[in-house]
Structure 1
């Protein structure tokens, strides 16, 4: 799956960043303007690529007063901190401190921009014991555990429906000492209580991630099997899948759809035996298979070939039942 997904402009800028050229990145962020949804998703993908080089540092040398360059410095620093944490790097804490410093500097420089606060939310993933005060604030809903809610509030002040922020919070609740799959499910149901049903918001897909994580955990415990998928055909799962299909997929612009969200929706529809709807999502998705959620239902979640086979089987079955032709290969791959 290409990290740019269906965003062709991002795809071009991403290739330039990988080649060490920063100007297309600058121009793309400028063109995104105050479209926070677009700015957040594009800066996340660009930051992941830029973290492998010094391209943002070069940009800051050339344009030291660029607010977008300051924001991208925070993106890169956070990506490096997350990578250091995952790899068990000896200097992981130093990376985290530098990233927090960069994110706070970006927040001060860009008062209306949600991205710096999303960066700080991402860093909360590194504090599973919630040692920092800002990571253990009381939740706005009594049933939810303490967490980085103050940071989430900062995002809400700027972009109420920010996709990445909610996914970051979901991961925090899944892995925090006081969290787990139950806390994650409570969180997505709380979000679903205030997201308009026909808004086209990608937050309508958020519950499918929590259900997939719950399924993964239960399967590892031997409670679920990977064949029957019966757990995807009961309430409230089927209702949330329907909301995601009708309220997001049928209402949103194709260019703004996350390929990962399309994968999760296609999987949920297929597993719930809603093959005709799944076929429509698969047709939109094309060949862009994501490792998850297909790894959760494959014979070997760690085997890329098995994961790809699971995706191909689900797509072929859905298209066959719906009577749709197989999607053409994407010439951009």
Structure 2
């Protein structure tokens, strides 16, 4: 089967998704840091700065690049070094703060929450139109379990600058879950309010489907009989309707144009396979072209293995 053989060869985890310039930078950073030269930091900073200076005003693309770099450099001294050496660089301050948030997600808490917030606020002063500093504050607020009035204040700062900011909506969704500071009712109200006014192809389009995957995972996490019948989640009206709304539009060429469109298509392929809608999932895998993301596949084990197994089942069951 041509689909099966070609996609299996090309399947890979790609932090950059289809952002070729970002992918080249990640490879270059890896090669540069291996040299061990005195000028390593200068070279890396110059490369990062050049990329982040491109596409000014494209907040969606900048957030994607900044977030990927923050995750990639979370264990590195480079973001802190850059921010220390260039305290008037908004990009340096944001990357440092976001890398600290990324490190804290793995460790379970921020080492210096006040310092991270201060870096974000200074970046916001230097780049008042950029929503990214406030997005990073949202990430820190989740880790620090801020009260809802404070978090919604930060949320409003993001929306004032970028109405459909993907990262901000997903942060708020996570914050409002019962596992953090909210409830199932608050999640439903948040998603309903978004769906009532959001154009169908905005960067935050995957918020509703992400909420359904969160709910599905919460059922799986209970174990026992509930986990065995967790697939029933996708036959319930709200979950089925969430899939119905996007299954045929997202896979159309050019429908999703935001920077993390392939991440959203991974969510769609995962949810369709969980719902045993294999024919529709096949179209999502074809649109992905073998590019996998760690989440949500890693919920079942090794992300790339889970992705490839689901891809094979979609091909065989179509």
Matched, 1:125 2:105: no
Structure 1: gaps spanning 5 or more residues: 138-146, 323-333
RMSD: 2.7
Q: Distance in 2 between matches of 1:308 and 1:242?
A: 26
Residue aligned with 1:31, SS: coil
Alignment correspondent of 2:8: none
Shift of 1:162: 0.5
Matched, 1:13 2:15: no
Deviation per CA, 1:69-99: give whole Å up to 9, x if none. 2332332333344444x1x6xxx4x421111
Q: Distance in 2 between matches of 1:76 and 1:295?
A: 22
Deviation per CA, 1:238-259: give whole Å up to 9, x if none. 2211323345443535673444
Alignment correspondent of 2:232: 230
Aligned length: 293
Structure 1 stretch 101-110 or stretch 249-258: which is displaced more? 249-258
Q: Distance in 2 between matches of 1:121 and 1:81?
A: 13
Please report the TM-score for the alignment, with normalisation by the length of structure 1: 0.77
Structure 1 stretch 149-158 or stretch 19-28: which is displaced more? 19-28
Matched, 1:32 2:61: no
Alignment correspondent of 2:101: 78
Structure 2: gaps spanning 5 or more residues: 1-12, 34-40
Asked if the contact 2:203–2:258 (Cα under 8 Å) also holds between the matched residues in 1, the reply is: no
Shift of 1:56: 3.2
Shift of 1:118: 0.2
Structure 1 stretch 274-283 or stretch 102-111: which is displaced more? 274-283
Asked if the contact 1:275–1:321 (Cα under 8 Å) also holds between the matched residues in 2, the reply is: yes
Please report the TM-score for the alignment, with normalisation by the length of structure 2: 0.81
The residue correspondences of 1:237-252 to structure 2 (distance < 5 A) are 237-250=239-252, 251-252=254-255
Deviation per CA, 1:91-112: give whole Å up to 9, x if none. x4x4211111111111111100
Alignment correspondent of 1:312: 308
Asked if the contact 1:17–1:46 (Cα under 8 Å) also holds between the matched residues in 2, the reply is: no
The residue correspondences of 1:146-295 to structure 2 (distance < 5 A) are 148-174=151-177, 178-197=181-200, 200-221=201-222, 222=224, 224-226=226-228, 229-250=231-252, 251-253=254-256, 256-295=259-298
The residue correspondences of 1:49-88 to structure 2 (distance < 5 A) are 49-60=72-83, 63=86, 65-84=88-107, 86=108
Relative CO higher for 1 or 2, CA cutoff 8 Å, sep ≥ 6?
A: 2
Q: 1:202 to 1:276 in 2, by over 3 A?
A: farther
Shift of 1:309: 4.7
Asked if the contact 1:17–1:49 (Cα under 8 Å) also holds between the matched residues in 2, the reply is: no
Shift of 1:63: 5.0
Residue aligned with 2:53, SS: helix
Q: 1:220 to 1:61 in 2, by over 3 A?
A: closer
Structure 1 stretch 16-25 or stretch 5-14: which is displaced more? 16-25
Q: Larger helix proportion, structure 1 or 2? A: 2
Deviation per CA, 1:27-54: give whole Å up to 9, x if none. 1111121101000111011122233223
